[in-house]
Amino acid sequence: MKERNLGKRHEVWQHFSRVASFRETIVFGITIGLFVLFSVLSGGKFASSDVIGIMAIAASELGVVVLGVALLMISGEFDLSVGSVSAVGALAGAMLYQLGLNPFLATAIAIGCGICVGAVNGLLTVKFGIPSFIVTLGALMSWRGLVTLVTGGQPLIFRVGETHPAFFSVFQGNFGKVSAPLIWFIVVVIILGLLLHFHRFGNHVFATGGNKEAARSMGINTNKTKLICFMIVGGLAAFSGILQSIRSRGFYAAQGDGMELIAIAATVVGGTSLFGGVGNIVGVTLGLLIIIFLQYGLIMIRVPGFWYKIVLGIIIIAVVIMDKILKQRGKLT
């Protein structure tokens, strides 16, 4: 009887492991655990539709960047400049909205600015062989400084929401009970998920991050692959900044400040390897939810704000240690 039960349990486990890896299963468990914990501790407020709606918007705006950061990390590189690039994109958009340019065209140009910044980061990294950590640290500081120089630290308010309500609806409206940023996030999840896991490009990204020399020797242009990843991150960071500025109806100089560390935290918590070659979109999305649950859950149970950073720091280190232990035991790749 006991043996039969064990056999059945093994069968269920095998079936489960076909759809999710061990790592995602743990991250999924933590996500659900945090949701239940904060719901109970806040007396149910955390699970209310209002709070879930607010978290969905915050998660979506941050999420588009997190997905890009994960893609780049899988290819074996870092982008510490996403917060500053999101500010560049938002600032470019705000200036063009103020000039009265068609807002859809202005948005496309602003995203293009993000792609160009990503391309510069990528070219400096692959052509000069400078570690991306250094290149994007420099970019983080210089683009943030430039944004402050251009704006003088003053906000840029625009009225595109009033003059072009259809444009506002596309980026910050509601479709039934679903907010536009959540729809954009889902679109990005689907596109990047397909690209990473089912497209030739995704195979090149994993190969480049997993073993660059093996990938090169098989004719993969690893520099081009990394460059494209940098451009995707730049474009997504700018898009995230634009979404935020449209919601707040203006650009504020501190926008996106500190975003890079939260994005990297969500990516790592979601199981993406800091050394490249490992990661998936489902895990990254769950990692994002953990960060958002922590951010809002601690507020809901009225824990002072600094605890968020303390808990976040501990979780990042704990996840990496757990990853290492499970790897040593052969449970993870």
Partner 1 sequence: MKELPLAEMRNIHKWYGKVHAVDGVSLTVNKGEILGLLGDNGAGKTSLIKVLSGYHCPDDGEVFIEGKKVRINSPAEASALGIETVYQEQALVDLMSVARNFCMGREPVKWGGFLDKQKMNECMIPLRAMGLSIKSPDILVKSLSGGEKQGAAIARAMHFKAKLVILDEPTRALAVKEVSKTLDFVERLKEANIGVIFITHTLHHVHSIADRFAVMDKGKIVKEIKRDEVSLDELTEVLME
Q: Which is nearer to partner 1, 144 or 204 (CB)?
A: 204
Window of 147-155, 179-187, 196-204, 283-291 that interacts with partner 1 by CB under 8 A: 196-204
- How far apart are CB 189 and partner 1 at their closest, in Å? 17
Of 142, 135, 147, nearest to 79 by C-alpha is 135
Site for partner 1 contains 5 (CB under 8 A): no
With tokens 């933590």, the residue in question is 30
Please tell me the count of residues contacting partner 1 according to CB under 8 A: 23
User: Please, are residues 237 and 114 in contact by the beta-carbon 8 Å criterion?
Assistant: yes
Q: Return the residue of 129, 176, 219, 305 that touches partner 1, per CB under 8 A.
A: 219
**Burial class, 11, CB count within 10 angstroms (exposed 0-12 / middle 13-18 / buried 19+):** exposed
Residue spans of alpha helices (H) in 75-164: 82-98, 103-128, 132-151, 160-163
Site for partner 1 contains 200 (CB under 8 A): yes
The residues, ordered by sequence, that sit 6+ positions from 195 with a Cβ below 8 Å of its Cβ are: 201, 202
User: Across-strand partners of 308?
Assistant: none
With tokens 């824990």, the residue in question is 303
Site for partner 1 contains 201 (CB under 8 A): yes
Window of 62-70, 111-119, 156-164, 194-202 that interacts with partner 1 by CB under 8 A: 194-202
With tokens 């030739």, the residue in question is 200
Q: Which is nearer to partner 1, 14 or 217 (CB)?
A: 217
CA distance 285 to 196: 14
Q: Return the residue of 111, 113, 269, 278 that touches partner 1, per CB under 8 A.
A: 278
Site for partner 1 contains 214 (CB under 8 A): yes
- How far apart are CB 268 and partner 1 at their closest, in Å? 16
Q: Which is nearer to partner 1, 133 or 198 (CB)?
A: 198
Q: Return the residue of 204, 246, 289, 319 that touches partner 1, per CB under 8 A.
A: 204
- How far apart are CB 197 and partner 1 at their closest, in Å? 9
- How far apart are CB 30 and partner 1 at their closest, in Å? 23
Q: Return the residue of 199, 249, 299, 316 that touches partner 1, per CB under 8 A.
A: 199
The residues, ordered by sequence, that sit 6+ positions from 113 with a Cβ below 8 Å of its Cβ are: 88, 89, 92, 238
Burial 226-237 (b: 16+ CB within 10 A, else e): bbbbbbbbbbbb
Q: Return the residue of 198, 314, 322, 324 that touches partner 1, per CB under 8 A.
A: 198
Q: 191 vs 68, 130, 169, 177, 197, CA distance in Å?
A: 11, 30, 22, 23, 10
Residues that bind partner 1 (CB under 8 A): 194, 198-201, 203-204, 206-207, 210-211, 213-221, 277-278, 333
